[in-house]
Amino acid sequence: MKINSSNHKSHRQVSVGMLSLGCPKTLVDSEIALGILQKSQFEIATSAADCDVAIVNTCAFIHNARQESIEKILALSQLKEKGRIQKLVVMGCLAQKYYHELESQLPLVDAFVGSGDYPKIAEIIDEVRHGKKIIEVGKPLFLYDENSPRFSLTPSHYRYVKISEGCNHKCSFCIIPQLKGLHRSRPIEDVAGEVTRHGGAGAREIILTGQDTTYYGRDFAGKFMLADLLKALDSIENINWVRLLYAYPAHLSDDILDAIRESKKVVKYIDVPLQHISDSILQSMKRAVTGASIRRLVQNIRKRVPGAAIRTTFIVGYPGETEQDFEELLDFIQEAKFDRLGVFPYSYEQDSYSGTLPHQVPEKLREERYHRAMALQQKVSLENNRRWIGKELQILIEGTAKKNRNKNIQADYVGRSYRDAPDVDGLVYVRANPEIKYQPGDIIPCRIREAFDYDLSGEALCDSNHP
């Protein structure tokens, strides 16, 4: 549908498409914005490239994310020039931080909307439909609640729930506080209300997100309250799994680990971004931890939460990182044997403290260290996965399996274990009795038969739900 006379079109006749970039936290924001538009009677299109009004919800966390955002905006600008779309709106972190520069560089954009201005999106689109150019970038103070409308962009069997927004940390490489503001938490009863609603609508897995989920409650209660939240969510009906992301290592306390261990529904999956192990690099990063405290934390996780799958991330090529620092990191990766690990080459951020530091590591060396670290983790991951051969895992079915050219895997379904968050971790390929049909969201027992670098393969075992 094209707008030939937008002044005479009702909201119901105007299609709006969303391109959501970046992490699950941005995805939640996109769902909120679309929910507001749907409530205002706009038609939600299946694609930002096939609609009247295209919205790009951007990420600006690192250089590559900003570059991807710009490339997507330029691609949609070309569609606007061809008349495929009528209006183009850029929202989120890139708009929040850089709208001054973008306004002149991207003349085909009709509106820039900051990361705290999602509630105004329906009014803004009304304005741009009537030919106005809009810049709506205020302080990033928005925090949604359980009554906020949502339009799901994920499969119905899992939902992301943002328990807090913003961040109080001053990590040297990060500009998140500039993009999202200071930390603010949602009340326990508000989060629980949202989770209850998702469970009633068919969600089987709830994934808790925030810039620092372990800081939860500090703002409204004067103390860390994540353990209390996890206990409250453990009693909600219909939900099978609760997964926790983005735990800051300095605040991953015993009471949180104990709550995870004792919970029936919180999966034993610890996502704790460590970033490095070298004391000098950690100090420069302003991470409030040391190499020794990180090693103690990893040991403590495995002691207090037997069977815990630990996921972490590291930054290589940070300013001043010597070959000795990097070798220490490689030794730690080999020693700790993390279940899941992501490595990122350092991203130069002009407005961050680290951007002012001397001894910036050349980009070529950053990339080289990235590949060396990932090659090591690939071997560690395969070693870890082989330990599951012959064992039983509960698998959440994602859907039917597609033929994978890179693996000679015979499978009927694909799913995830408790060790796997969507999109970032491994998969489990499942062979099943053809007489038994599984649906996305079913959780079934599976015997693991094969191990690959990052994935597993096995056979479904009949259970009481699927005789």
What's the pLDDT tens digit per position in 48-64? Answer: 998 999 999 999 888 88
Q: Do both 382 and 396 map to the same domain?
A: no
Question: Are residues 116 and 261 part of one domain?
Answer: no
The stretch 354-374 carries a mean pLDDT of: 95
Specify whether 311 is located in the same domain as 193: yes
Tens-place pLDDT, residues 82-103: 999 999 999 999 999 999 999 9
Q: Where are the alpha helices (DSSP H) in 40-143?
A: 63-81, 93-105, 121-129
The tally of domains found in the chain comes to: 3
pLDDT digits (tens, 9 = 90+) for 339-358: 999 999 999 887 888 988 99
> pLDDT tens for residues 167-212?
999 999 998 898 999 999 999 999 999 999 999 999 999 999 999 9
Structure confidence at residue 406 (pLDDT): 53
Per-residue model confidence as pLDDT tens digits over 9-20 = 677 689 999 999
Say if residue 161's pLDDT is above 60: yes
Residues 151, 154, 155, 160: is their CA dihedral positive or negative?
Answer: negative
Instruction: Look at residues 133, 86, 83 and name the one whose alpha carbon lies nearest to residue 113.
Output: 133
Q: Of 386, 419, 437, which one is at a domain's C-terminal end? A: 386
How many residues does this entry show for the chain? 467
Indicate the residue type of 146.
E
Nearest to 357 by CA among 172, 179, 176, 178: 172
Residue range of the domain that includes 441: 392-460
CB 308 within 8 A of CB 340: no
pTM score? 0.93
Neighbours of 160 (CB within 10 A): 23
User: Are 303 and 228 within one domain?
Assistant: yes
SS3 306: coil
Q: Are residues 196 and 335 both part of a single domain?
A: yes
Residue 405 has pLDDT above 60, yes or no: no
pLDDT at 1: 27
Average pLDDT over residues 323-344: 98
CA 133 to chain centre: 31
Is residue 421 predicted with pLDDT exceeding 70? Answer: yes
Name, in order, each residue with C-beta under 8 angstroms of 174's C-beta and a sequence gap of 6 or more.
61, 167, 349, 352
From the CB of residue 71, how many other CB atoms can be counted at a distance below 10 Å?
11
Residue 74 included in any domain? yes
Which residues are paired to 271 by β-bridges? 311
**Residue 7's pLDDT is what?**
43
Average pLDDT over residues 264-292: 97
Give a yes or no: residue 150 inside a domain: no
The continuous run of DSSP H or E covering 331 comes out as: helix 323-336
Identity of the amino acid at 250: A
d(CA 312, CA 274): 6
Strand extents, DSSP E, 192-334: 205-209, 241-244, 266-271, 309-316
Question: How are beta strands 443-451 and 392-400 bridged, if at all?
Answer: antiparallel
For residues 75 and 199, state if they share a domain: no
* 151 occurs within a structural domain: no
What is the pLDDT, as a whole number, of residue 409? 80
Where a domain ends, among 349, 371, 386? 386
Query: What pLDDT does residue 403 have?
Result: 66
pLDDT band at residue 2 using 50, 70 and 90 as cut-offs: very low
Give the whole-angstrom CA distance, residue 302 versus residue 43.
49
**Tell me, what CATH number does 197's domain have?**
3.80.30.20
Q: What is the CA radius of gyration of the chain?
A: 23
In-domain check, residue 146: no
If asked whether residues 115 and 191 sit together in one domain, one would say: no
Residue 212 sits in the same domain as residue 311? yes
Query: Do 357 and 321 sit in the same domain of this protein?
Result: yes
Q: Give the C-alpha separation, 204 to 416, whole Å.
A: 13
Residue 317: partners with Cβ closer than 8 Å, 6 or more residues away: 345, 346, 361, 363, 365, 366, 367, 369, 370
Residues 311 and 186 occupy one common structural domain: yes
Q: How confident is the model at residue 6 (pLDDT cuts 50, 70, 90)?
A: very low
Find, among 290, 210, 306, the residue nearest to 250 by Cα.
290
Among 69, 103, 136, the domain-final residue is 136
Phi, psi (degrees; rounded to nearest 5) at 200: -65, -25
Q: How far apart are CA 88 and CA 111, in angstroms?
A: 7
Backbone angles phi, psi at 112, to 5 degrees: -115, 125
pLDDT at 444 over 60: yes
